[in-house]
Structure 1
């Protein structure tokens, strides 16, 4: 797997423990891939140096990977980048199943344009990586585009 280059000066969030990740997974009713768990335990909320990827005829820029915080309210500014806070803000536009308990599309990175990179658990337990388009998505009608079959391949797409 290609390593995501990080700007170590941007890591300002406490790193999540396995226990905290387990709590978040239970809350969302998903199991994060081990590659993603390892990534977030080392780089919670980081701004990557390798932050550009091409898909189709477009280039996308990752502004920041989202974080997982024990107490997102303790830091009102940084808390806005917590995965569960983002889900609270846009959750009904991330799913097409209004009866779903948990989440099946989980945002993990903010893109320059207000869209998000998400792990998509709708088809399999091993999530694909998709772009979620905020301007086109409506309540219970998310608009996504698959960009990689898994998180490892997505990380391999990133460049400076």
Structure 2
């Protein structure tokens, strides 16, 4: 299954430089860090959109919606301020003190929680739900969602 997007919701101007900047920054603490190849392919083609098949299920059985995927656009070229605030680098810098070293947000939920890649275990990162209300400085609260990005995408549905 692929992710279908609402018309006219993709962020403009995918920037490889923005993605490279995040990779360089994360590599400082995680030597050998690399984005999941399936995610790279996805974000290069569908940068920051709002999905139609937006519902996913957590490991504990909760079904939740995605509001929007974060973008890797050059914020200086964006005219929509709301999309600027959903740039992956901007979001990471706003919440990094409540994330662990291993978490990288890639999508936001309507309630302000984020879907994150979890790089704690070597290999492809797993997908977790990060709770903004339950997380504290250096103490993130996460719930398992999927073993990798491909499994996550396969589990998305368009109905609650």
TM-score normalized by the length of structure 1:
0.86
For structure 1, the residue ranges without an aligned partner over 5 or more in a row are 96-102
How big is the alpha-carbon RMSD for the aligned residues of Structure 1 and Structure 2?
1.7
Q: Distance in 1 between matches of 2:66 and 2:45?
A: 18
Q: Distance in 1 between matches of 2:61 and 2:76?
A: 37
* Residue 39 of structure 2, aligned match among 36, 40, 47: 36
- Are the aligned partners of 2:135 and 2:141 in contact in 1 as well (CA < 8 Å)? yes
1:100 aligned partner: none
1:47 aligned partner: 50
Q: Distance in 2 between matches of 1:57 and 1:149?
A: 15
2:72 aligned partner: 68
Which string of whole-angstrom CA distances, capped at 9 and with x for unpartnered residues, describes residues 24-47 of structure 1?
Answer: 211222311110001100111100
SS of 2:67 mapped into structure 1: strand
- Are the aligned partners of 2:11 and 2:73 in contact in 1 as well (CA < 8 Å)? no
TM-score normalized by the length of structure 2:
0.86
Using the TM superposition, give the Cα deviation of residue 74 of structure 1 relative to its aligned residue in structure 2, in angstroms.
Answer: 5.2
1:84 aligned partner: 89
Q: Distance in 2 between matches of 1:21 and 1:114?
A: 22
Q: Work out the number of aligned pairs and report it.
A: 151
* Residue 104 of structure 2, aligned match among 106, 113, 121: 106
- Are the aligned partners of 1:73 and 1:79 in contact in 2 as well (CA < 8 Å)? no
Using the TM superposition, give the Cα deviation of residue 73 of structure 1 relative to its aligned residue in structure 2, in angstroms.
Answer: 8.1
Q: Distance in 1 between matches of 2:153 and 2:21?
A: 25
For structure 2, the residue ranges without an aligned partner over 5 or more in a row are 28-32
* Residue 124 of structure 1, aligned match among 122, 128, 133: 122
Q: Distance in 2 between matches of 1:20 and 1:115?
A: 22
